[in-house]
A and B are shown apart, each in its own frame.
Chain A
Amino acid sequence: MAALEVRDLQTHFFTREGVVRAVDGVSFSVDRGQTLGIVGESGCGKSVTALSIMGLIPKPPAKIVGGEVQWEGRELTTLSERQLEDVRGHEIAMIFQDPMTSLNPTLTIGTQIKETLRRHLDISKDAARKRAIELLDEVGIPKPESRLDDYPHRLSGGMRQRAMIAIAISCNPELLIADEPTTALDVTVQAQVLDLLEELQASHEMAMILITHDMGVIAESADDVVVMYAGQIVEQAPVQELFDHPEHPYTEALLGALPQIDDASGRNQRLTAIRGRPPDLIDPPKACRFAARCPHASSGDSCATHMPELREIRPGHFVRSQHPASERAGKRVEVTA
């Protein structure tokens, strides 16, 4: 059994305007030593999925209304806040998007690492200090002894994200959730941080969930990929399979929107944008949520009235669409023939 199993997770936000189905029936699993990439555009529910696993969704207005989060055989959604606090940081840790705001400006880096260590592990102050120095060293911060007593504002963005990572891995968590860990960093630093995460994952044998909107990040780091759209999983496959044979029109469109350096057709080619915008999740259409933007759907299709099921189109490759690429190609052959 996988370390983390999420089954049919549903997290809704109860707002004055109505119920927002931010996460609507999401299932996946991650094993130790594996990286699951969750990709999708802003507002598709990837962060809320992560926060739901951690039990960190803002309650109210948000609430997990259905589904299970099985962590090492334990059900996390029914744990009390107190029990969850013991899991957080100790077994499951998280890195956030913006390193500029995710460290407390009034506490030194060292204090913030030591605090986490002493919260979960029974160690002395001196031992915590020693461990904090080791951790800063491990995440590649030069001169860790002197950095320990620095306040966050003295560190650059990349260094802060490294410090955040040091805090997250301080208690040797078995699962690390990285919520857009590189989005706020500039490109050169992005690659370094991704490499660091990969290294740490291997050396600590962690499971990792990597949330991003960047297909490039997915290609580099993930083993399995979940593509989310409007609160649902629309495609799920091993990374190689997904990039080689994307099935869902949305995944195709995401890949089409990726700039390519070695593009044979010339440098002046424009990136393809996806027209339209995602549906309102307060009262989502009963039809396929991508139908309105789908280049292959027409009003006569059943996906205009019914939500397609997530089906296994090839072993290990799931897609939620009436018009997956492989079936479409078949059709096209018939038309041209």
Chain B
Amino acid sequence: MATPARSAAEHAPLVVSPTAETMAGAPIRQRNLWQDAWFRYIRNRAAVAAGVVFLIVLAYCLIFPLVSPYDPYDVEFSDARQNPSLAHPLGTDAFGRDLLTRTALGGRVSIGIGFAATLVILAIGVAYGSISGFIGGHLDNAMMRALDALYGLPYLPFAIITLAILGNAGFWTMVIALSIASWLTTARIVRGQMITLKENDYIRAARSVGARWHRILLRHLLPNTLGVLVIAVFLELPGVILGEAFLSFIGLGISPPEASWGSMAQEGYKNYRVFPLLIVIPSVAIATLILCANFIADGLRDALDPRTRET
């Protein structure tokens, strides 16, 4: 590898950059951890392509409904189930709504719920995992056994029950339902990180100069887990988006006239024999997004934690 291997999780840079020896030397190009990671990321073609597609999809979802000539809610039966044409590049649905506009609107909801739920998952996971790993001992033991018990609960039924209890399925109820049973893995990852990082010499060194526990946790430990957390966002995202799509598909999630990719697929499913395009479009959209998220997660992992690369 051309660049010195460094990462957030890496406490002992194995390679000291050749420039480090020239202590009083001429100004040297500085590269910090994130710049290094960026350089490694852009060398991964699949990850870059996935990132670009991801951004395009994101931009399309956000911008297209604003500039589209069609109202995504406007029912026009005379235009129902049209095949793709110049006026409607993706055709229209059973109510004559423009599918290109509608898919963007559904994407907003799907991706929005995806990111919101992922952030909630991270928040809970980081809080739970870092307390457990940092304090350790009996508390850690108790918290991890509780986690094991929760692992026994199947994720989707848990989400369905939550939705049933919360009643109407809106954006935030979906976020709660999707995150309530999905933070377990993140909590485990963070705990593992904490336990590893805690043993680092620089933690002992920080303690040896009198640093208090909250300082050690917030300043020395959590920033070092950041790399793992960024990866975790893109690892969690596909599962959450798929979960949202599934719940909406079975009619528990976002319901018409609001759109999400799951509810659109559900509408399409009703008459897929007559007009298959209606189910193909949201499915392709979901698949694309999940594929992108996976490639991005992969690229990020290689970029932020180069030691895990297998090749």
Contact = CB atoms under 8 A, between A and B. Distances in A.
Interface of A: 54, 56, 60, 85-90, 93-94, 96, 98, 100-107, 115-116, 119-120, 141-143, 147, 151, 153-157, 159, 164, 167-168, 170-171
Contact of B206 (A54, A86, A104, A142): A104
B209 A93 contact: yes
Interface of B: 4, 6, 8, 10-13, 16-17, 19-21, 23-24, 30, 32-33, 137, 200-202, 204-212, 215, 219-220, 223-224
B209 A101 contact: no
A158 to B, nearest CB: 9
Nearest to A82: B212
Given A85-B210, A107-B219, A119-B211, A102 B205 contact: yes
A217 B212 CA distance: 34
Contacts of B201: 96, 98, 101-102
A178 to B, nearest CB: 12
Contacts of B200: 101
5 contacts: A88-B210, A93-B208, A101-B200, A119-B211, A153-B20
Contacts of A56: 204, 207-208
B24 A54 contact: no
Nearest to B227: A106
Given A101-B12, A153-B20, A156-B20, A96 B210 contact: no
B208 A104 contact: no
A238 B192 CA distance: 47
B196 to A, nearest CB: 13
A137 to B, nearest CB: 13
A106 B10 CA distance: 10
A101 B210 contact: no
Contacts of A104: 202, 206, 220, 224
A56 B8 CA distance: 25
A272 B166 CA distance: 78
B159 to A, nearest CB: 36
A155 B23 CA distance: 7
A14 B201 CA distance: 22
Given A155-B20, A156-B16, A159-B23, A106 B210 contact: no
Q: Which 8 interchain pairs have the tightest Cβ spacing?
A: A89-B209, A89-B210, A101-B201, A88-B210, A142-B24, A94-B208, A102-B201, A116-B209
Contacts of A155: 20, 23
Contacts of A89: 208-211
A89 B209 CA distance: 4
A309 B6 CA distance: 52
Contacts of B211: 85, 89, 115-116, 119
A106 B221 CA distance: 10
* Residue of A103, A147, A171 with most chain B CB atoms under a 10 A cut-off: A103
B193 to A, nearest CB: 13
B24 A105 contact: no
Contacts of A103: 202, 205
Given A101-B202, A107-B219, A85 B23 contact: no
A212 B139 CA distance: 37
Contacts of B12: 100-101
B40 to A, nearest CB: 15
Contacts of A87: 210
Contacts of A156: 16, 20-21, 23
Contacts of A119: 209-212, 215
A185 to B, nearest CB: 13
Given A89-B211, A101-B12, A107-B219, 12 more contacts: A85-B207, A89-B209, A96-B208, A101-B200, A102-B205, A104-B202, A105-B11, A106-B33, A107-B223, A115-B211, A153-B20, A155-B20
